[in-house]
Amino acid sequence: MADILGKILDRPVRYQDTSFAMFAKAAKAMGFPDFEISQLRFYAEDIRRGTFAVGGSTNHVELVTGQKPESFEQIRSTAPQQSIPNPSSADPHG
């Protein structure tokens, strides 16, 4: 994933394993709501188990759509170029 992001961003990206507690602390400092942070715990556990890896443990996309899933790199290369919003600058009241 780090290599793919590096290609997309055209700069070096290094993977660094981080505990969920450290991630949660950083996310909170950036202004993410506690509820959203708590929900990401399960997603983070799935990532560590390789659930979403290429050739991962399910074939759900193919079963539902009849087509093999695209890789992250394929999806990003065809998606509109958008910047990632900074949650600390968003209005927390909508």
Q: How far apart are the first and last CA of the chain?
A: 32
Written as six digits, the tokens of 76 are: 């990003």
Tell me, yes or no, whether 80 lies in a domain. Answer: no
Mean pLDDT computed over 60-82: 79
pLDDT above 60: residue 92: no
CB 35 within 8 A of CB 42: no
Q: Please check whether residue 54 lies inside any domain of the structure.
A: yes
3-class SS letters over 3-66 = HHHHHHHCCCCCCCCCCHHHHHHHHHHCCCCHHHHHHHHHHHHHHHHCCCCCCCCCCHHHHHHC
* Domain-located, residue 28: yes
The domain total for the chain is 1
Domain that holds residue 27: 18-66
Residue 36: pLDDT over 70: yes
Q: Is residue 1 part of a domain?
A: no
pLDDT confidence tier of residue 71, bands split at 50, 70 and 90:
confident
At 57 the pLDDT is 60
With a cut of 90, say whether residue 27 has pLDDT above it.
yes
pLDDT over 70 (residue 81): no
